[in-house]
Amino acid sequence: MPNLLFTVCWMPLVEIYFARRAKRLNVIKAKLLAADDAIPLLTLDNRRDNKITIRQLLGHLYNSFADYYLYRLSHTPSHHLRNFVYKYICKMNIGEDVVIYHGAEVREPANISMARGVIIGDNAILDARNGIHIGEDVVFASNVRIWTEQHDHEDPWFRCSTQKHDAVIIDKHAWIGSHTVILHSVHIGEGAVVAAGAVVTKDVEPFTIVAGIPARKIAFRNSDLRYQNNGKSRSFL
């Protein structure tokens, strides 16, 4: 009940944030890439001499509250309410019959698109700072991690903006196993299977099964896939 009340009461403030955020995402990214000395928000603390104004502090608090709101939302015991907030408040592109289970952590929801029948397992992390696009009837097991951004370990300021990172694309009927990790710029083909515990660093061909660290092809999957997820889910979770 506390999460439910929290989610509903703070909707207007959060809606304003994500509406503005969705419009500014591309502009912010472009400015970071264009400026040689630009330091992303995640690494400002690496500069000991950096001074923060009151306006920047308030902006930081607002950003942090929005992240906290998403965390509380992920534990709100209502699939319908969560999907409503993700779609209309957080500006995530969600199709029909999508199921997002409890505890899923979403970063930059406006950069996420999910086609009809997608199922996201509990405790997933969807880092969509550079985009995540998921096709129809894709299924995630529990604890899947997708990272579309990463720090440059060779950069003096440990920035993320020194390299090009593209969106993660997962085509329809793919099955992503439990505790898998998918890194930036990866394209997982139609009907592919990523075995539990794998770390995917390169594209995966359609209807192949990959496993291991890094993930490698180990078998092929049946290409005659006809199932459609109907949006049914466990209540409350």
At residue 28, the pLDDT reads 60
Long-range contacts of 121-130 (CB under 8 A, 24+ apart): 121/178, 122/237, 130/165, 130/166, 130/167, 130/168, 130/184
Cβ count within 10 A of residue 174: 26
Residue 217: CB atoms within 10 A of its CB come to 13
Report DSSP letters for 1-60, one per residue: -HHHHHHHHTHHHHHHHHHHHHHHHHHHHHHHHH-TT---GGGGGG-TT----HHHHHHH
**Topology at the third CATH level for domain 2-220:** UDP N-Acetylglucosamine Acyltransferase; domain 1 (2.160.10)
Estimate the crossing angle of helix 54-74 against helix 11-34, to 10 degrees. Answer: 120
Contact 219, 195 (CB under 8 A): no
Tens of pLDDT, residues 183-223? 999 999 999 999 999 999 999 999 999 999 999 999 999 99
pLDDT at 42 over 60: no
Q: What confidence tier does 150 reach under pLDDT thresholds 50, 70, 90?
A: confident
Residue 51 has pLDDT above 80, yes or no: no
In this model, does residue 66 exceed pLDDT 90? Answer: yes
Active site residue 151: yes
Tokens 């000991």 sit on residue: 48
Among residues 75, 133, 151, 187, the one annotated as catalytic is: 151
Instruction: Return the pLDDT at 39.
Output: 43
* Whether the Cβ atoms of residue 133 and residue 108 lie closer than 8 Å to each other: no
80 touches 213 (CB < 8 A): no
